[in-house]
Chain A
Amino acid sequence: MSAFWALVRRDLRLAWREGGAISTTLGFYLVVVAILPLGLGPDLNLLARIAPGVLWVALLLSALLSVDRIFHNDHEDGALELLALGPLPLELIVVAKALAHWISTGIPLVLAAPVLALLLNLPAEAFGVLLLTMATGTPATSFLGALGAALTLGLRRGGLLLSLLILPLFVPVLIFGVSAINAVIIGPSPFLPSYLILAALTLATLALTPFAAAAALRLNLQ
């Protein structure tokens, strides 16, 4: 297990020292959310009603921007092949790297969401549930993103292809994440079923994608 945590720590330290990637992702999140009211007009009631959806969609797009670097650098400099030869099974390498991505990018995005929610006039009672659903849903986006990154590793225009492959897989997370928040603000549907399904989606993603992503990595390492 020490090899696993060592890999997570290494990825986190790399993300921290590089720094640029995280701030770019956060900047993108801010710009997407800020640009929408300019297109929709300043009607605060309208903004409040669509805020959960806007915040979620923008978060997914921002996460998508950052996932292609999960394996990219390690693949370029050959570190990935060394890792694959090491004691850790490829599946756990995927888990470690996706986990590091979630900690370094997912959590900052989640923490930024309430600040951006102020811009969209999200009702006060929804802030807690906004944080809760996003914290629950974002691990799924990191793991699905890792799968997409593994599939498109080393391809030209890989980033664009990645979006096409992975955005449809984000749809369930988006639907249940938004409906859980809307349940609290607008009602009348109950909060718990949507939230439970969101949690189930994340767990199922955590359990299944490492195998698929590891299989895709094996293809690239041959």
Chain B
Amino acid sequence: MSQAVPAGQKLWSGGKSPYNVEYGKLMMWFFLMSDAFTFGAFLISYGSIRFASNSWPDPNHVFRNFPLIGEMNIPLAFVSLMTFILIMSSVTMVLAVTCGHNNDRKGVIKWMIWTIIGGLAFLSCQAWEWTNLHSEGAWWGSIATEAGSHFLNANGSTPTTNFSNFFFTITGFHGFHVFSGVIINIIMLIKAWRGDFDKRGHYLMIEKAGLYWHFVDLVWVFVFTCFYLL
């Protein structure tokens, strides 16, 4: 499925990119690789600590709340909504990139607006999640350990602050990426609206911003699995 290269053309003979992409796009991919290793290292350290522990808080008990409905018990419903929102915003981003390929300025503006709304919605959900957990006694360096706490380990024993430290650090680092992605998308929207890309002749910058946004979604898929499912 790679792009067709004329027969006999040697990719590594110099004069053109052996990857057949422009410089900025290649650099974005390499940056995303480095960022993937950073997140990967965080998640692997989380995994190491969990493997080193006899028991761990049960996600079905920790993540059972949903905004506006009080003390109902629906495990994982809220995080499912957050995952759906982020995946949808990835879809709208791809649609924006596609419109960019067709030099459709109005389409790019429309889909970028939806992507930004999706990103802001996700951040709001994450803020609610953090506030909710904090009100129940979890934060960096603290976790509710008394009988009846929803943070008790699955085998009933006293939880350590490992859980809350890792949760807030990793979801915080991810949320920071979502936030910076929203800022970048807003800048892309303004540039598209002003006609900067029409003047330039191509919408490649939207594509690069799109790569960053998809990366943010990709990381969430792993974070969601590690903290809420496993």
Pairing of A with B:
no
